[in-house]
Structure 1
Amino acid sequence: MAVDPMERTEQARELMYSRLPSVNELLRAPELRGDVDAYGHDRVVVAIREQLQGVRRQIASGEIASEGLQPAIGSIAQHVRELIRRGPEYSLKPVINATGVVLHTNLGRAPLSEAALAHVVEVARDYCNLELDLESGERSKRDVHAERLVLRVLGIAEEEIGRWSVTVVNNCAAATFLALNTLAERREVVVSRGELVEIGGGFRIPEILEKSGAILREVGTTNRTRAADYELAVTEQTALLLRVHQSNFSIEGFAERPSLAELVELAKTMGVPLFEDQGTGLIERLDELGVAGEPTLPESIAAGVDLVAASGDKLLGGPQCGLLVGRADLIARIRKNPLLRAFRVDKLTYAALEATLFEYVVGGGESLPLMKILSAPADEIEKRCCAIVESIHSANLIAVVVPVESMIGGGTAPSARLKSYAVSVRHAELGAGDLQKKLRCSDPPVIARIAEEAVLVDLRTVPVEMDEAVARVLERL
């Protein structure tokens, strides 16, 4: 009786599986004896199991046939040695951001400064005074490590500091939720229909309002809202007037929105606090860099907003966190909310935030990686692109320098574009999608974008010191 081909293939696979060496056999291999002594039994075992699993996957997929099994077995010990020397294969790893999107949410947004990294390591290495007042020996609030610096960076006068307070949570969405839950639970929050935005990850302002327990009161239309619309909506049930940063989009043409000054005046007249989800955390305007009209956090405070929420890892250039800056009485109420414990940040975030704020105090933030990326001259980026193209010697690769436009990203300045240059790459045998994947799976991973069937490696978001690594990856293609 004829044997079914699929059954024959399965039998061949089972035979190959049975021929694979055991973990103990490989541990006794002469090539690995020194590694067991140098790196420890457990670490070598993990590496062996990983390599054996890889061979099993190749057998299952048909990549390894019977005739190729012995060479594959023979190389296991060598691969184990390479894996051990390379160190752990972490899932979270550094990548080269060549997308041209400065605050790329998928890639971790703003890179941290050297000072922030050093302070994180310093604080993480041992114990620290996270909630301890060193002078009195009493327990303190962890916000003290950020509050005074935040207020100083925002330009609040020394005599006015007592009127303001700061608390830090894990992101801006958490800051907004916590403020609404504390100050407006079961009461109304008045917000323009044109500001009912969806932010990254599918989070929508109306849903955050609902989950916080606040009652949404929409005013105006999608494209036009006036101060009078807010005024007509205020009742005894109104807890807050809410202004939201228009994340990821802009409204142009037949549009109207009340100024922040108008809303501040209205809030004072009506006796209702004004809460602004400012979002970006921008400290100084970027008009000279071509990013016009993006409002700043100090401007909100100077205008008289009662409470402001902002992100730490966007245009502030620091770690992921959410800042709540506002009247001391409002922050005091928020600090009493039991949910604050669920949203608070750890010592590493405070360390990175504190060091980032110091950069603004001593140098206006110009030394932050984010600001260097935003201010990099386009002609310098072009020279770097040319150098990479000239270093590539491959018959299969066509690389040319092209002008492009970089984006801010992270839900900030959606209309802003930064002049830049990129290496446009095409491959004789690979399509743009396959080429992009090759770059993404390289070592180090290079994350690029596709335009007009070519892969664009935009150097605005690539540190200068990584140009050589990018060139090597492209050359290997």
Structure 2
Amino acid sequence: MTRQKSGFRALPSADQFLLSEAGKGLVAIYGRKLTLNALRARLDVARAAIQAGEDGTALAANLAGQLAADLSDGVRSRLRPVLNLTGTVLHTNLGRAILAEEAIRAAHTAMANPLALEFDLDGGGRGQRDDHLRGLLCELTGAEDATVVNNNAAAVLIVLNTLAAGREAIVSRGELIEIGGAFRMPEIMARAGVRLFEVGTTNRTHPRDYANAITPDTGLILKVHTSNYRIEGFTAEVSAFELAEIARKAGVPLLNDLGSGSLADLSNYGLRREPTVAEAVAEGADLVTFSGDKLLGGPQAGFIVGRRELIAAINNNPMKRALRLDKIRIAALEATLRLYLDPERLAERLPTLRLLARPQAEIRAQAERLAPQIGRMLQPLSFEVAVCDCDSQIGSGALPTEKIPSAGLGLTGAGGDAPDRLSVRLRDLDMPVIGRIHSGALILDLRCLERDIDLISALAGL
């Protein structure tokens, strides 16, 4: 009991600690309120430890260091940069597209300055924020007009609500997709106030299915590009061109939702072709929707391009204000779209395309350079490093069956849980390293690692 009392006496009071040099230093960094709250919590822990038999003098000696660590952890943002070595270039959980330098500079300017966001510099009156993107989108897609909202699900939502609220929207059963976060197309349609009318079957839908379903209560026909899955075998679908003819004859608008959506022909970069937005417009869709932060390589946004009178109706929907973009994303999107006006240098300047187009030979050479040094760094943890071939993927629902030959480092150790144990250690670094576990190894796919030093510096924290 005497030892316990002396242990309690060894602990400083909160006021005593705050007046010490260590306390003053922490208050200068974190402020009095945060420091005091963390100190009280740490003193409570220390008193409980003394009651359990621990040495109070040792706890008091370690108090300042433990409190500093508590405060550092408490103020560190959970939104931390990571090294994406998963092999998924557009990883939804890791923020999808990395922005181009031009977009980053534009966003920084928008954050640091007042902007002519909704101000007409020529006439001196009120302007429209979408005007900064409208001309670029029309030039790049061939559409009559364009508008933008905060993501592609919102784009589909507002189109459905504007053109078909209280009416039916016809869609093939094979296109009733579920997107990330378990959001399903039928549920989005219901929230838009639209009644779903399914046609065809899961694997086969024919032109007559659409034609026979059209009634005076039809608000629109919806075509959904199944970018996040693929049905193969005994299948049939109605092309966007055929569907546009059916819709035009019936006087019903056609919405073609491309999902990921690309402004460039991916086959130019060694990838399988995806329909481009310009092609979807040329095929006759009245409206086309697509994303900004996937294949396009910009910040999160949902684009709507198409007929002028339909875009005007969408912009007049009160929902538009709730879904609009802020000045930072508009600035970054404008800079990103301008890169597409120079297609010869696009892959060089747009990180998404640059990473997707990296040759496997280049990535393997990088793996062979890194393997010896990473091996030495992991040797104290009893892990071995080997160069391995692997497959990358685009991610975010784009070309789900497309595998891109890549290379990386396979990290193996003793015990069946070795990859999981190392994965935890790498996630706990100041710069977390995120790989994937496959066939008893932790694989670090190097496709998205453009600088060797980034991985070396991160692992130095081990």
Q: Is the 8 A contact 1:52 1:76 kept in 2?
A: no
Q: Tell me the secondary structure at the aligned position of residue 94 of structure 1.
A: coil
Q: Is the 8 A contact 1:389 1:399 kept in 2?
A: yes
**Equivalent position to 1:418, from 404, 409, 422:** 404
Cα offset, 1:165, TM superposition:
1.7
2:456 maps to which residue?
471
Cα offset, 1:471, TM superposition:
2.8
Q: Is the 8 A contact 1:291 1:413 kept in 2?
A: no
Identify which range, 70-79 or 182-191, moves more after superposition: 70-79
1:3 maps to which residue?
none
Query: Deviation string for 1:172-195 (max 9, x for gaps)?
Result: 001101100010011111110000
Matched, 1:272 2:252: yes
Distance 2:106 2:284 in 1: 33
2:309 maps to which residue?
329
Matched, 1:406 2:392: yes
Residue 470 to residue 29, structure 1, CA distance change in 2 (3 Å): same
1:193 maps to which residue?
173
Matches within 5 A, 1:198-347: 198-347=178-327
Consecutive unaligned residues in structure 1, runs of 5 or more: 1-7
Query: Deviation string for 1:78-131 (max 9, x for gaps)?
Result: 466678899941121111111011111111100111111111110111211111
Percent identity of equivalent pairs: 40
1:31 maps to which residue?
22
1:5 maps to which residue?
none
Residue 28 to residue 242, structure 1, CA distance change in 2 (3 Å): same
| Corresponding letter in the other structure for 2:83 | I
Residue 390 to residue 271, structure 1, CA distance change in 2 (3 Å): same
Q: Is the 8 A contact 2:4 2:51 kept in 1?
A: no
Distance 2:162 2:241 in 1: 25
Residue 334 to residue 422, structure 1, CA distance change in 2 (3 Å): same
Distance 1:436 1:70 in 2: 37
Q: Is the 8 A contact 1:189 1:238 kept in 2?
A: yes
Distance 2:410 2:11 in 1: 45
Residue 234 to residue 183, structure 1, CA distance change in 2 (3 Å): same
Matches within 5 A, 1:4-23: 20-23=11-14
Matches within 5 A, 1:141-180: 141-154=128-141, 156=142, 164-180=144-160
Matched, 1:384 2:366: yes
Query: Deviation string for 1:410-465 (max 9, x for gaps)?
Result: 01111111110111112347622121111111110111110012111111122x22
Residue 16 to residue 114, structure 1, CA distance change in 2 (3 Å): farther
Query: Deviation string for 1:279-300 (max 9, x for gaps)?
Result: 1121112124443231111111
| Corresponding letter in the other structure for 1:25 | Q
**Equivalent position to 2:64, from 74, 77, 94:** 77
Q: Tell me the secondary structure at the aligned position of residue 342 of structure 2.
A: helix
Cα offset, 1:312, TM superposition:
0.3
Distance 1:203 1:17 in 2: 55
Query: Deviation string for 1:174-223 (max 9, x for gaps)?
Result: 11011000100111111100000100111100111111111111111100
Distance 2:46 2:180 in 1: 38
Matches within 5 A, 1:393-472: 393=376, 394-395=379-380, 396-428=382-414, 431-462=418-449, 464-465=450-451, 467-472=452-457
| Corresponding letter in the other structure for 2:383 | L
Matches within 5 A, 1:112-127: 112-127=99-114
**Equivalent position to 2:31, from 40, 43, 54:** 43
Consecutive unaligned residues in structure 2, runs of 5 or more: none
Residue 100 to residue 64, structure 1, CA distance change in 2 (3 Å): farther
Query: Deviation string for 1:17-70 (max 9, x for gaps)?
Result: 896544433322223545656x4xx5365256446646766987x899754654
Residue 459 to residue 188, structure 1, CA distance change in 2 (3 Å): same
Distance 1:70 1:437 in 2: 33
Distance 1:438 1:95 in 2: 13
Q: Is the 8 A contact 1:44 1:80 kept in 2?
A: no
Residue 270 to residue 95, structure 1, CA distance change in 2 (3 Å): same
Residue 63 to residue 247, structure 1, CA distance change in 2 (3 Å): farther
Residue 407 to residue 59, structure 1, CA distance change in 2 (3 Å): farther
Distance 1:422 1:293 in 2: 26
2:84 maps to which residue?
97
Query: Deviation string for 1:378-401 (max 9, x for gaps)?
Result: 111112112221113114121111
Distance 1:313 1:375 in 2: 17
Cα offset, 1:170, TM superposition:
0.8
Matched, 1:372 2:348: no
Residue 20 to residue 182, structure 1, CA distance change in 2 (3 Å): farther
Residue 58 to residue 94, structure 1, CA distance change in 2 (3 Å): farther
Q: Tell me the secondary structure at the aligned position of residue 400 of structure 1.
A: strand
Residue 51 to residue 287, structure 1, CA distance change in 2 (3 Å): farther
Q: Is the 8 A contact 2:262 2:276 kept in 1?
A: yes
Query: What TM-score do the two structures reach when normalised by structure 1?
Result: 0.87
Distance 2:430 2:194 in 1: 48
Distance 1:135 1:457 in 2: 53
1:181 maps to which residue?
161
Cα offset, 1:73, TM superposition:
3.6
